[in-house]
Structure 1
Amino acid sequence: MTPSPFLIQLALLFLPGVIWTHLDARFGSRSGPTQIEFVFQSFLFGIASYVVVYAGYWLFGFNFIIIDLSKVETQNLLTSAIVIQIAIATFVGFILGVIWLYAVNYKWMTRFLQTIGATKTYGDEDVWDFTFNSSDATSEYVHVRDFENKIVYAGWVAVFSESGKMREVVLRDAIVYDFDGSQLFASPRIYISRKPEGMHIEFPATQANTKELQ
């Protein structure tokens, strides 16, 4: 079945929002949006992208063409000028999507509200996500204590899991000790996977000794 010109034009018009929403669904949201949420977010993010493009056109004195969506089904609205607008809006949507990911993953709103004392919660994330998403250098160097095998994994957090039934973390420049403090071996990278209740992590670094640990 060949898509109708109406659907093709409509898809191109909302391409900026679709790209932004896809970035958010893939790299930002803890759970993927429903189909209705995806369409709604694509519409809102698309509008935001075009608003930014409109502001840029106005600032530099260019003529921004307002598209009459009521004519999409009966007319070909994809003139060269509108195609250029869509291309610019798509690029803007991608840039805004990346900025949005920073805001979501680094919890800018949550941190702002905490700074002004409006909340003490971490938002939708748990303490695990909040800690390892933190920009605090003291959260980057950890000791993962394995009580069952009586060993301690010491190293810098390179990668960590944000969801799933298992807690996963990859340590770089890792050194493994026994409980007496004797070094057993070292490895450039170590992957550790435990159930949430079995993951015991210590943060020995302080602001004073963080550089020394590096």
Structure 2
Amino acid sequence: MTYLDNKKIVNRIARTLNVSNKYGDENTYSYFLNSQDIDWVYVRDIEKNLTYLGKVEVFSETEEIKELVLSDVTVYTYPDSEELYRIEKIYLSYPREKVTIEKPNFNDYAKEQQPIKTTQRRKSKEQSDKA
């Protein structure tokens, strides 16, 4: 039974049969950032007029805040996307409703501008605590 729950087999069957859109008990934030195709992200800080492009290292969420650590970060102005600077790592913390995270479409960029993608998986803080 634990195997079925951990692999979300029942939810997969329900989605296949179009009787449910539920993917599991984890929140959408964790689901999105744990997706196989999520490695690099844009984080939009509209209030500060900044956009961060970086590789997701770790993330966590509480009732009040969402936290991210990004590496290989490029910081841009928002909304005109002028590059400001590059840094090795950054810690970001936002109230739950104040963060926008997007998956970049690197097909729009020349190969020399594309960051090197890795397949290393991350764990949310909640998953690390459970292990």
TM-score, reference length from structure 2:
0.68
AA aligned to 1:188 is E
Aligned equivalents of 2:84 and 2:10: distance in 1?
41
Could you tell me which residue of structure 1 aligns to residue 27 of structure 2?
126
CA contact (8 A) 2:11 2:22 kept: no
- For structure 1, list consecutive stretches of 5 or more residues without a partner in the other structure: 1-43, 46-99
- Map residues 17-96 of structure 1 onto 2, 5 A cutoff: none
Q: Work out whether 1:186 is the aligned partner of 2:112.
A: no
CA shift in 2, pair 1:129/1:182, >3 Å: same
Q: Work out whether 1:205 is the aligned partner of 2:105.
A: yes
Is the helix fraction higher in 1 or 2? 1
AA aligned to 1:196 is R
Rg larger for:
1
Please identify runs of 4+ aligned residues in structure 1 that moved more than 6 A.
none
Q: Could you tell me which of 162, 172, 196 is aligned with 2:71?
A: 172
Aligned equivalents of 1:162 and 1:110: distance in 2?
26
Residues 150-159 or 122-131, more deviating:
122-131
CA contact (8 A) 1:155 1:175 kept: yes
AA aligned to 1:121 is K
Aligned equivalents of 1:193 and 1:200: distance in 2?
12
> Identity of paired residues, percent?
33
- For structure 2, list consecutive stretches of 5 or more residues without a partner in the other structure: 117-131
List per-residue Cα deviations over 1:145-186 (Å, max 9, x = no partner). 111110111111110104442100111111101122221111
Which structure is higher in RCO with an 8 Å CA cutoff and minimum separation 6? 2
Aligned equivalents of 2:33 and 2:22: distance in 1?
16
Aligned equivalents of 1:118 and 1:111: distance in 2?
9
Q: Counterpart of 2:90 in 1: which secondary structure?
A: strand
Is the strand fraction higher in 1 or 2? 2
List per-residue Cα deviations over 1:4-38 (Å, max 9, x = no partner). xxxxxxxxxxxxxxxxxxxxxxxxxxxxxxxxxxx
Could you tell me which residue of structure 2 aligns to residue 144 of structure 1?
43
TM-score, reference length from structure 1:
0.44
How many residue pairs align between the two structures? 110
